[in-house]
Structure 1
């Protein structure tokens, strides 16, 4: 068996066949590298598009939440800086004041938390 393997590697045909296989494998490696680079560029563009869309959606949701937290004008003297409050304090403030559309605000806050949890 060893003799057969030795003869196969030392035959005059082994050199050109090995060279041909090496060239084919080199072509496959180059093709794979080009394909991977193309996929990487596509994914980078998709990530940037999704990031921009996420930013737009986040700004819209925060604007709606701020409108819900604004409440009626007669509560202006009791308002505190909402940005300084923790999410729990904001929720308690909304629950205590019970502005119109509280259900919508609570759902938006819950959706916002869920989105932030998925991003972590």
Structure 2
């Protein structure tokens, strides 16, 4: 009787281990996908921020000044100075925020 219970327990352990390995593989693949998607989104958002940083008149000055700032500081600078196209960028940022809130 004890031997049969040991065999059943061994079979359950093997099944549990196999299922865990399968779940781990699925989760690792999902992590890779999400990481790649996050990088693509980050590049796109940085490009949008760069596009909002000013018109041709102050382009060289703003690029040199913003090179030393974090994206958050650059966004705060845009909010304070209101360069050309800022309204469009603010609407895009608001839409992005709304989309991110729905994903949470």
Q: TM-score of the superposition, structure 2-length normalised?
A: 0.74
Deviation at 1:51, TM superposition (A): 0.5
Task: Say which SS state the counterpart of residue 52 (structure 2) adopts.
Answer: helix
Find the aligned partners of 2:82 and 2:45 in 1 and give their Cα distance: 19
Cα RMSD after superposing both structures = 2.5
Kindly indicate whether residue 9 of structure 2 is the aligned counterpart of residue 28 of structure 1. no
Equivalent position of 1:4 in the other structure: none
**Bigger Rg, which one:** 1
In structure 2, the CA distance between the partners of 1:19 and 1:29, relative to structure 1 (3 Å rule), is: same
- Match among 69, 93, 102 for residue 108 of structure 1: 93
Quick check: 1:68–1:101 contact (8 Å CA) kept in 2?
yes
Equivalent position of 1:75 in the other structure: 58
Quick check: 2:66–2:74 contact (8 Å CA) kept in 1?
yes
Q: TM-score of the superposition, structure 1-length normalised?
A: 0.65
User: Size of the alignment, in residue pairs?
Assistant: 95
Give CA-to-partner distance per residue, 1:3-51, whole Å, 9 cap, x none: xxxxxxxxxxxxxx11011100100001100100010001000110011
